[in-house]
Amino acid sequence: MAVESWWRRCYGGGTTWLNDVEPGRQYAAGDALGCMGMWFAGRWYTAGAVVYIGRVTANRNGRAWESADFLGHG
């Protein structure tokens, strides 16, 4: 499944099977951070997913791509 169709399914509410496996919270449509964590961990808001969400959010908030050493180019 292409990333775009996977994302559309997750964000749109089509991955309800996430409520049948080890979730950290109830799956719901429209949760972009939850879908991002699920992409990483394979489950909804598990410990690993929450750590990943936190790292991505921190990089976004800190605008990591603007630093001189981003991707080792510093």
Query: What is the model's pLDDT at position 1?
Result: 65
Domain count, the chain: 1
| Residue 69 resides in a domain | no
Query: What is the model's pLDDT at position 74?
Result: 54
- Give the chain's residues under pLDDT 70: 1, 72-74
| Residue 12 resides in a domain | yes
Its domain, for residue 10, covers: 3-64
| Residue 71 resides in a domain | no
| Residue 73 resides in a domain | no
Distance CA 18, CA 59 (A): 27
Confirm if 40 and 16 have CB atoms less than 8 A apart: no
Query: What is the model's pLDDT at position 33?
Result: 94
| Residue 16 resides in a domain | yes
| Residue 19 resides in a domain | yes
